[in-house]
């Protein structure tokens, strides 16, 4: 199952029990919520390997466990692989003094090729953004880096023949 390119990036909110999937397009595209919800559900149900990428919120596994529970209830046999990393960004940005000045924030793009090669996903769910602002007021340059990094991620995932959903 393929998601139309025009639906990228998609913001997906998943609520446990009742499992309503609410999809809001980024404003560049208009889509029927009913059709998009159905498409995303089918994409997850029909997948074999779902890889989750993100920061510490994703790494903690709470929403990932809800998603896994829903997928099992829906009857899928897909393997859900949480490969999130705390502090990670898709933008490559880091603030001075991160981790007490010990090291900069991890950049997804440093490890992305290895992650995709090892995990062999057919669907990737990517949840980035919080750390990409590096806890500073809005600034167009940071937003641009976030967009560039998200586009690079999107192209890499599509390049291996997998689908990607940006949460």
Reported pTM: 0.78
Q: How many Cα atoms within 13 Å fall on the side-chain side of residue 126? A: 31
What's the pLDDT tens digit per position in 105-131?
Answer: 999 999 999 999 999 999 999 999 988
Whether the CB-CB separation of 106 and 145 falls below 8 Å is answered with no
Query: Which pLDDT value is given to residue 37?
Result: 64
pLDDT of residue 84: 97
pLDDT tens profile 16-65: 333 333 333 333 333 445 556 678 888 998 999 999 999 999 999 999 99
For residues 152-164, give the mean pLDDT. Answer: 97
Which pLDDT belongs to residue 136?
85
pLDDT band at 100 (very low <50, low <70, confident <90, very high): confident
Rounded CA gap, 11 and 45, in Å? 19
In total, how many domains does the chain have? 1
How is residue 49 written in tokens? 């390997």
Question: CATH number, domain at 121?
Answer: 3.40.50
3 state SS of 52: strand
The residue ranking higher by pLDDT, 21 or 91, is 91
Q: What is the overall mean pLDDT for the chain?
A: 81
Q: What's the average model confidence in pLDDT over 132-141?
A: 88
Structure confidence at residue 17 (pLDDT)? 30
Who has greater pLDDT, 135 or 3? 135
> Residue 145 phi/psi, 5° resolution?
-65, -40
Smallest CA-to-CA distance from 106 within 87, 130, 129 is with 87
- Structure tokens given for 69: 């529970």
Tokens of 26: 């980024």
pLDDT of residue 19: 33
Domain that holds residue 157: 5-166
Give the pLDDT score at 121.
Answer: 98
State how far the Cα of 162 lies from the Cα of 155, in Å rounded to an integer: 10
């Amino acid at each position: 199952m393929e998601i139309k390119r025009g639906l990228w990036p998609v913001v997906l909110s998943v609520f446990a029990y009742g499992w309503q999937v609410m999809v809001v397009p980024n404003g560049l595209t208009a889509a029927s919520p009913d059709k998009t919800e159905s498409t995303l559900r089918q994409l997850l149900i029909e997948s074999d390997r779902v890889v989750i990428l993100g920061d510490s919120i994703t790494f903690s596994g709470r929403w990932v466990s809800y998603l896994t529970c829903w997928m099992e209830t829906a009857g899928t046999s897909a393997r859900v692989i949480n490969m999130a990393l705390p502090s990670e960004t898709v933008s490559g940005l880091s603030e001075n003094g991160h981790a007490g000045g010990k090291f900069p924030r991890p950049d997804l793009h440093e490890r992305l090729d290895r992650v995709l090669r090892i995990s062999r996903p057919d669907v990737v769910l990517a949840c980035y953004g919080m750390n990409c602002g590096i806890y500073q007021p809005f600034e167009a340059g940071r937003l641009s880096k976030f967009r560039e990094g998200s586009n690079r991620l999107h192209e890499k995932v599509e390049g291996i023949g997998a689908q990607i959903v940006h949460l």
